[in-house]
C-alpha cells in the first residue's frame, strides 16, 4: 500500500510538472505570403526561441485569398501582423478592441519607383505624367503626397499590382513595396530608382503587431513573452544564421528561393528599415508614443481620417517594448 501511494504521488508530481511546463499555444497571423520580411518570426520558430519562452507558435499566412484581420477579433488568431498604423486607427475608429504592442519596422517600406535617369529626386515625381496607385493607396498615402508634397490627382491611374505598364513606359511612376517591386523590376531588365516614403516624412511604423485589448489587459505575461521571443528571433535572423528560417519560409511559400530571400534582405538593409532609429538603443520592436500621435496628426491634416474619429490612447501601448531586449544578442553576433 505504501509503495502504491509513493507511485501515485510520483505520477502526480510528473503529471503536474508536465502541466506547468506545457507551452502556451499561440496562432500568429501574417499579412501576406511568407517572405524575408517575416523572417524574424520564422527564425524564432526554427531555432526554438518561442519554445524557450514557453510558446507553441503557429504562423498562419495571409495572402491574396486570405484576409487575417477579422480572425484576430474572432479569436482565431492571438496576434496579427499589420501593415501600418492606419489599419490600427481604423480598428479604433470602428470600435474594434485591438491594440498595437510592437513595431518591428521602424520605417514603412511603402515607396514610389521610377526609371533611372528620368527623375532625380522625390519632388521631381510631381512632374510625372502618370503615377500608378492602388485604390487603397489613393485613400491613404496618396492623400498625404498631395497635401504635403504637391502631387496632383490627375496624375493617378489605377495600379493593378502588375509591373507590365511600368516596364513599357520609362516616364511612368508607380507605387511599390520597397523590398519587392524594385527587385522584380530589376529582374525584368529595368533600372528602378526607389523613393521610400518614410524618407519624405511618412512617419508610420510598419509590420506592427496587434493583440486583442482584453489580452493586453488580462494576460500581459503572454504578450510580453511573444514580443520578447519575436525580438530575439529578429536579431538572430538579421545577424545570425538564417538557413533554418529560410527553410520554413520556402516550405510555406514555394515561390521563394534562397537567392530571392538574400536579395530581399539586402534591400531591407540598403533602405534602413528594421534595426535603425530608436531600435538602435531601445531594441527592435521599439515604439515612440509621440511618433504615433504625430502620425495621427499627419493623417488628420492629410484628410485620411477625420479629426476626433480616433481615440489615440486606444491605438498602441509601449509597455512591452523599448527595454533594450535583444541588444545583447546583437552584440554577440554583430
Q: Are residues 135 and 83 in the same domain?
A: no
Residue 239 has a CB neighbour count (10 Å cut-off) of: 15
pLDDT for the residue 70? 86
Answer for the pair 59, 28: CB distance below 8 angstroms, yes or no. Answer: yes
Q: Are residues 89 and 213 in the same domain?
A: yes
Q: Are residues 226 and 328 in the same domain?
A: yes
Q: Are residues 208 and 96 in the same domain?
A: yes
pLDDT digits (tens, 9 = 90+) for 259-293: 999 999 999 999 999 999 999 999 999 999 999 99
Q: Are residues 186 and 323 in the same domain?
A: no
pLDDT for the residue 184? 95
Measured between alpha carbons, how far is 153 from 207 in angstroms, rounded to an integer? 28
Q: Are residues 236 and 329 in the same domain?
A: yes
Measured between alpha carbons, how far is 272 from 278 in angstroms, rounded to an integer? 12
CATH of the domain at 136: 3.40.190.10
pLDDT digits (tens, 9 = 90+) for 167-219: 999 999 999 999 999 999 999 999 999 999 999 999 999 999 999 999 999 99
Please count the structural domains in the chain: 2
Q: Please write down the HEC assignment for all residues of 246-269.
A: HHHHHHHCCCCCHHHHHHHHHHHH
Domain assignment of residue 81, given as a range: 2-108+204-333
Last residue of a domain, one of 200, 219, 247: 200
The whole-number average pLDDT for the span 228-257 is: 98
- Can you read off the three cell numbers belonging to residue 66? 486570405
Spell out a b/e string for 264-288, using b for 16 or more CB atoms within 10 Å of the CB, else e: bbebbeebebbbebbbeebbbbbbb
- Can you read off the three cell numbers belonging to residue 132? 500608378
Residue with cell 491574396: 64
Q: Are residues 165 and 257 in the same domain?
A: no
Q: Are residues 210 and 318 in the same domain?
A: yes
Provide the H-helix boundaries in 23-109. 39-46, 49-52, 69-73, 85-93
Q: Which residues contact 82 (CB under 8 A, 6 or more apart)?
A: 31, 69, 88, 100, 207, 208, 209, 210
Last residue of a domain, one of 200, 219, 241: 200
Q: Mean pLDDT for the chain? A: 93
- Residue 21: pLDDT band by 50, 70, 90 thresholds? low
Q: Are residues 303 and 218 in the same domain?
A: yes
pLDDT above 60 for 19: no
Q: Are residues 226 and 188 in the same domain?
A: no
Amino acid at each position: 500500500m505504501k509503495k502504491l501511494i509513493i507511485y501515485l504521488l510520483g505520477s502526480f508530481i510528473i503529471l503536474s510538472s508536465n502541466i506547468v511546463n506545457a507551452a502556451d499555444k499561440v496562432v500568429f497571423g501574417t499579412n501576406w505570403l511568407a517572405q524575408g520580411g517575416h523572417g524574424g518570426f520564422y527564425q524564432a520558430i526554427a531555432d526554438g526561441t518561442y519554445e524557450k519562452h514557453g510558446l507553441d507558435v503557429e504562423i498562419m499566412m495571409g495572402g491574396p485569398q486570405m484576409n487575417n484581420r477579422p480572425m484576430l477579433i474572432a479569436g482565431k488568431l492571438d496576434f496579427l501582423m499589420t501593415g501600418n498604423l492606419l489599419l490600427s486607427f481604423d480598428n479604433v475608429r470602428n470600435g474594434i478592441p485591438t491594440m498595437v504592442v510592437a513595431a518591428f519596422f521602424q520605417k514603412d517600406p511603402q515607396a514610389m519607383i521610377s526609371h533611372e535617369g528620368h527623375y532625380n529626386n522625390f519632388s521631381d515625381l510631381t512632374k510625372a505624367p502618370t503615377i500608378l496607385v492602388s485604390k487603397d493607396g489613393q485613400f491613404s498615402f496618396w492623400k498625404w503626397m498631395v497635401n504635403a508634397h504637391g502631387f496632383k490627382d490627375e496624375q493617378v491611374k489605377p495600379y493593378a499590382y502588375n509591373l507590365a505598364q511600368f516596364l513599357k513606359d520609362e516616364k511612368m511612376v508607380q507605387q511599390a513595396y520597397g523590398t519587392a517591386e524594385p527587385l522584380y523590376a530589376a529582374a525584368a531588365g529595368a533600372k528602378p530608382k526607389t523613393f521610400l516614403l518614410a524618407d519624405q516624412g511618412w512617419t508610420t511604423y510598419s509590420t506592427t503587431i496587434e493583440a486583442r485589448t482584453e489580452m493586453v489587459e488580462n494576460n500581459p505575461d503572454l504578450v510580453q513573452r511573444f514580443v520578447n521571443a519575436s525580438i530575439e528571433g529578429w536579431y538572430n535572423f538579421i545577424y545570425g544564421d538564417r538557413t533554418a528560417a529560410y527553410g520554413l519560409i520556402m516550405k510555406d511559400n514555394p515561390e521563394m528561393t534562397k537567392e530571392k530571400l538574400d536579395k530581399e534582405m539586402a534591400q531591407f538593409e540598403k533602405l534602413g528599415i528594421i534595426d535603425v532609429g530608436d531600435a538602435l538603443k531601445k531594441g527592435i520592436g521599439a515604439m515612440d508614443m509621440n511618433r504615433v500621435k504625430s502620425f495621427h496628426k499627419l493623417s488628420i491634416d492629410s484628410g485620411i481620417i477625420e479629426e476626433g474619429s480616433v481615440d489615440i490612447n486606444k491605438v498602441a501601448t509601449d509597455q512591452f517594448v523599448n527595454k533594450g531586449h535583444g541588444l545583447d544578442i546583437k552584440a554577440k553576433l554583430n
